[in-house]
Amino acid sequence: MRIPSLAICLIAGSLLAPGFALAEAPGSSDRDHPKEFVKDSAITTKIKAKLATEQLSSLAKIHVDTDKSGVVWLSGTTRTEEAAERAVAIAKATEHVTSVHSDIRVTKED
């Protein structure tokens, strides 16, 4: 007796589905709700876009992350203190940002 491959896929999928549902248990991430994750990602994307429009090549080496409370974390390197300050100012001026933490290092090297 031959079982059609579609039937095998359906059976396997129904057996594996509960395992996939439990793979990311609630509370295992600081972004407990998908809506919060989207909001955090939107803030991060807005800041990165603003940094890209600044035409300062050293701003491209800045990394941006946002937590569920709207706190932005900046890290990476810039060539000047002014560029680091500009990145912080851009982040602070972005809608829904509650505070900004900067770990940006000023370095003369590329």
Between 69 and 7, the more confident residue is 69
Sheet holding 71-78, edge to edge: 62-66, 71-78, 99-106
> Is the model's pLDDT at 90 over the cut of 90?
yes
Residue 6 in any domain: the answer is no
pTM, two decimals, is 0.64
Domain count of the fold of the chain: 1
Across the range 82-94, mean pLDDT stands at: 94
Question: Could you tell me if residue 13 is inside a domain?
Answer: no
Does residue 57 lie within any of the structural domains? yes
The mean per-residue pLDDT over the stretch 15-25 comes to 46
- In this structure, the strands spanning 71-78 and 99-106 are parallel
The answer to whether residue 79 is domain-embedded is: yes
pLDDT at 23 over 70: no
Q: What's the CATH number where 37 sits?
A: 3.30.1340.30
- Where in the sequence is the domain holding 44, given as residue range(s)? 33-110
Radius of gyration for the alpha carbons in the chain, expressed in angstroms and rounded:
21
Residues sharing a CB contact under 8 Å with residue 24, sequence separation 6 or more, in sequence order: none
Are 104 and 80 in contact by the 8 Å Cβ rule? The answer is: no
